[in-house]
Homo-oligomer: A and B are copies of this chain.
Amino acid sequence: MHYTQTEIEGLEKIYRANLLNAISGYKPANLIGTISKSGQTNLAIFSSVIHLGANPALLGLIVRPAKVPRHSYENMKETGFFTINHIHKNFVEKAHFTSAKFDRNVSEFDVCKLTAEYQSGFLAPFVKESKIKIGLKLVDEIPIKLNETILMIGKIEHIFFPAEIVGIDGNMNVDQTENIAISGLESYYLPTKLASFPYAKPDILPGFE
């Protein structure tokens, strides 16, 4: 099947959104935890978390402030902090429904039955049920003018993870956590380990084919 740019622009809106949200490949499944100045917590599923660098330790996140819900964005701006929490297969449905457009005074922690947890004096709430959790300070906000989205950049201040999934070289056996991946807007996948390979060098290539 082949679609050109013109054909893509002519697709029915929901069809196009579903197709194009899947076309980039598997996406990470994370819950973003925030709190307002007045103490109202918020939790929202995002598939746009991206690794930006290990030194300094930076992660990015795409937000769409022109569209509701924008509570996560507002809280990040108000307090300067947020958390990223991996989604385990056992609470994928709860995580999905954090995407409903709840009122500002409703906490998704409450209605979706997930537990806000505060650790190490960090301001923003973590998800107690998550096996990998990251606390970040908002350090930059880069507007993407072409579609009015924003790349929010966080510097990692805390990471929490099960010690037993990390090897002596820092590699994580993430499938042991039973965390999931996302495709499109509503499909959730459980990955299993297929292969790993050594650092690639031009002079020691495998004999392909």
Q: Which A positions have Cβ atoms within 8 angstroms of B?
A: 1-5, 8-9, 11-30, 47-60, 62, 84, 86, 89, 92-94, 96-103, 106, 111-113, 119-120, 132, 134, 139-140, 142, 144-147, 149, 151, 153, 155-163, 166, 168-172, 174-175, 179-181, 183-202, 205-206, 208-209
Q: Which residues does chain B contribute within 8 Å of A197, judged by CB atoms?
A: 93, 96-97, 186, 188
- Whether B181 lies near A26 (C-beta < 8 A) is yes
Give complex CA distance A23, B113 in Å.
24
A-B contact sample (9 more), CB < 8 A, given A1-B162, A146-B153, A189-B194: A1-B161, A5-B156, A12-B170, A17-B54, A26-B180, A53-B146, A92-B195, A100-B200, A174-B184
The minimal Cβ–Cβ distance linking A63 to chain B, given in whole angstroms, is: 11
Residues of chain B lying within 8 A (CB to CB) of residue A120:
2, 4
Please tell me which one of the listed residues B2, B28, B149, B158 contacts residue A25 in the complex, with CB atoms under 8 A apart: B28
Nearest B residue (CB) for A18: B170
Inside 8 A of A151's CB, which chain B residues have their CB?
A: 142, 144, 151
- List chain B residues, Cβ under 8 A from A147: 52-53, 55-56, 58
Once the chains are docked, how many angstroms separate the CA of A142 from the CA of B59? 16
* B residues in contact with A156, CB < 8 Å: 5, 8, 20, 23
- Please report the C-alpha to C-alpha distance between residue A132 and residue B20 in the assembled complex, in whole angstroms: 12
Name A4's contact: one of B93, B158, B202 (CB within 8 Å): B158
